[in-house]
């Protein structure tokens, strides 16, 4: 049993360290997170078994030396330094003392802070059933926005989000924008597009602007980074923009739009596919098929109306034209129109 614990602990600890380094230096990955959690739990169990077999050692050392001339250290000095080390490490983590900020400065999170999306406090998403999900953005004074999406017949319920272990999950973004088209707040973005500008999707390396071009160009205003990686001088020069929908939920606030953009892998049609010249209007990168489609609803400033139905607006264009604008000519969009059956938006103002 002792040999089993020792060798299993060696392998599990190696996997734990490797997954921890991947989580530190790379963008968020569900696979890496699963490995880290599972092997972390395994290491915890194995360390417990290992320490249980060493209880006699701890009792012996903590009792101290029997003879004054014994070379064995006394109990208090023996545990004082380890306790002080751990106390300082915990304090440094809580108060951001040396060397915590220096170490975290090397992480992917620190280096990519501008392009990483995280929802505001008060935002929650839950899966209701195979064919629908809800997003709720709670604001002060009982104000809120609730978005309920009912998937259509062309949406693969086996790939719904949160999804199973796959690199070809549908990419979804939900946000609010002003009546003039300026980003107010992003509520939700699928994990891959939320943490990285590029990632594996349907077996190919893809940028999030390839999959969600409309939202990604809107996100430039919040991040200050254009989809091609350049710093956007206009966005970086407008720090007064709060990127919060809360002011728009007041009783006398202006109207605004709630939008959703979705793209699923492997849905080509006769017009949008990769087996044609890259200069063709219908060319899309391998694995993408039809471009993303957008739905939206205009939330009227009249507080007496609470429920809205999102309407289909247009699509994000072929892979050679990801300008961020909405392409209203949808005559070549086929099954992608049926990814969503219905989107209900409920707005509650104080």
Closest CA to 206 of 271, 292, 118, 312: 292
* Domain edge (last residue) among 111, 146, 174: 111
237 with 95, same domain? no
The reply to whether 104 and 143 lie within a common domain is no
The answer to whether residues 59 and 150 belong to one domain is: no
Do 101 and 141 fall within a single domain?
no
> CB atoms < 10 A from the CB of 23, how many?
18
Please indicate, yes or no, whether residues 62 and 159 belong to a single structural domain of this protein. Answer: no
Within-domain flag for 186:
yes
Judge contact between 96 and 104, C-beta under 8 A: no
341 part of a folded domain = yes
In this structure, is residue 117 part of a structural domain? no
Is the residue at 36 inside a domain? Answer: yes
Which H, E and C letters describe the chain, residue by residue?
Answer: CHHHHHHHHHHHHHHHHHHHHHHHHCCCCHHHHHHHHHHHHHHHHHHHHHHHCCHHHHHHHHHCCCCCCCCCCCHHHHHHHHHHHHHHHHHHHHHCCCCHHHHHCCCHHHHCCCCCCCCCCCEEEEEEECCEEEEEEECCCCCEEEEEEEECCCCCHHHCCCCCCCCCCCEEEEEEEECCCCEEEEEEECHHHHHCCEEEECCEEEEHHHHCHHHHHHHHHHHCECCCCCECHHHHCCCCCCCCCHHHHCCCCCCEEEEEEEECCCECCCCCECCCCCCCCCECCCCCECCCEEEEEEECCCCCCCEEECEEEEECCCCCCCCCCCECCCCCCCHHHHCEEEEEEEEECC
Note every long-range contact of 52-61, with CB atoms under 8 Å and residues 24 or more positions apart, other chains counting.
Answer: 53/2, 53/5
The reported pLDDT for the residue numbered 162 is 43
Task: Determine, yes or no, domain membership for 118.
Answer: no
Tens digits of pLDDT across the chain (350 residues):
788 999 999 999 999 999 999 999 998 887 888 899 999 999 999 999 999 888 888 888 777 666 665 566 666 777 888 899 999 999 999 999 999 999 999 999 899 988 999 999 999 999 877 788 899 999 998 999 999 999 999 987 655 544 444 567 899 999 999 999 999 999 999 988 999 999 988 888 999 999 999 999 999 988 889 998 888 755 544 445 568 999 899 877 889 999 999 999 989 999 999 999 998 989 999 999 999 999 999 999 876 789 999 999 999 999 877 678 999 999 999 999 999 999 999 999 88
Is there a single domain that holds both residue 153 and residue 63? no
Boundary residue ending a domain (61, 88, 111):
111
How far is Cα 157 from Cα 15, in angstroms, rounded to an integer?
A: 32
Q: What length does the chain have?
A: 350
Judgement on whether residues 21 and 86 belong to the same structural domain of the protein? yes
* Same domain (yes/no): 94, 150: no
- 102 plus 163 within the same structural domain: no
Q: In which residue are the tokens 């940028």 written? A: 207
Give the integer Cα–Cα distance in Å for 183 and 215. Answer: 9
Indicate if 104 and 136 belong to the same structural domain. no
Structural domain boundaries enclosing 56: 2-111
180-187-259 Cα angle (round to 5)? 45
Phi-psi region of 174 (alpha: psi -120 to 50; beta: other; left: phi over 0): beta
Model confidence pTM above 0.85: no
CA distances 15 to 44, 166, 170, Å, are: 13, 21, 29
Q: Does residue 116 lie in a domain region?
A: no
What whole-number distance in Å separates Cα of residue 346 and Cα of residue 242? 23
Query: Does 6 share its domain with 134?
Result: no
Instruction: Determine, yes or no, domain membership for 244.
Output: yes
Q: Is residue 59 part of a domain?
A: yes
Q: How many domains does the chain have?
A: 2
Which residue among 111, 143, 163 closes a domain?
111
Residues 6+ apart with CB under 8 A from 25: 106, 107, 108
Long-range contact list for 128-133, CB < 8 A, 24+ apart?
A: 130/157, 130/160, 131/155, 131/157, 131/341, 133/160, 133/161
Residues 86 and 134 reside in one and the same domain: no
């Amino acid at each position: 049993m002792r040999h089993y614990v020792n060798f299993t602990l060696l392998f599990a600890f190696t996997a734990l360290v490797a997954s921890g380094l991947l989580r530190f230096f790379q963008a968020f990955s569900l696979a890496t997170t699963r490995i880290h959690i599972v092997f972390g739990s395994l290491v915890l169990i194995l360390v417990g078994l290992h320490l249980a077999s060493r209880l006699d050692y701890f009792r012996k050392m903590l009792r101290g030396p029997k003879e004054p001339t014994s070379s064995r250290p006394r109990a208090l000095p023996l545990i004082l330094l380890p306790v002080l080390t751990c106390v300082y490490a915990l304090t440094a983590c809580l108060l951001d003392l040396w060397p915590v900020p220096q170490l975290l400065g090397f992480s992917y999170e620190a280096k990519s802070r501008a392009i990483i999306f995280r929802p505001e406090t008060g935002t929650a998403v839950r899966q209701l059933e195979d064919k629908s999900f809800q997003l709720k953005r709670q604001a002060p004074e009982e104000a809120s926005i609730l978005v309920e999406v009912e998937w259509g017949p062309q949406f693969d319920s086996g790939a719904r989000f949160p999804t199973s272990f796959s690199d070809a999950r549908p990419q979804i973004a939900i946000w609010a924008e002003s009546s003039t088209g300026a980003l107010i707040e992003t509520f939700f973005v699928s994990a891959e597009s939320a943490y990285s500008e590029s990632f594996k999707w349907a077996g190919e390396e893809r940028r999030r602007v390839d999959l969600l071009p409309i939202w990604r160009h809107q996100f430039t205003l919040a991040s200050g980074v254009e989809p091609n990686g350049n710093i956007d001088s206009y966005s970086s020069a407008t720090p007064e923009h709060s990127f919060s929908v809360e002011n728009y939920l007041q009783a006398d606030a202006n109207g605004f739009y709630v939008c959703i953009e979705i793209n699923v892998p492997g849905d080509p049609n006769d017009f949008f596919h990769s087996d044609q010249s890259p200069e063709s209007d219908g060319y899309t990168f391998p694995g993408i098929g039809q471009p993303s489609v957008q739905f939206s609803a205009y939330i009227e400033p009249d507080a007496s109306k609470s429920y809205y139905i999102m309407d289909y607006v247009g699509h994000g264009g072929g892979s050679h034209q990801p300008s961020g604008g909405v392409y209203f000519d949808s005559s070549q969009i086929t099954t992608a129109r049926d990814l969503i059956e219905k989107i209900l938006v409920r707005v509650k103002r104080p």
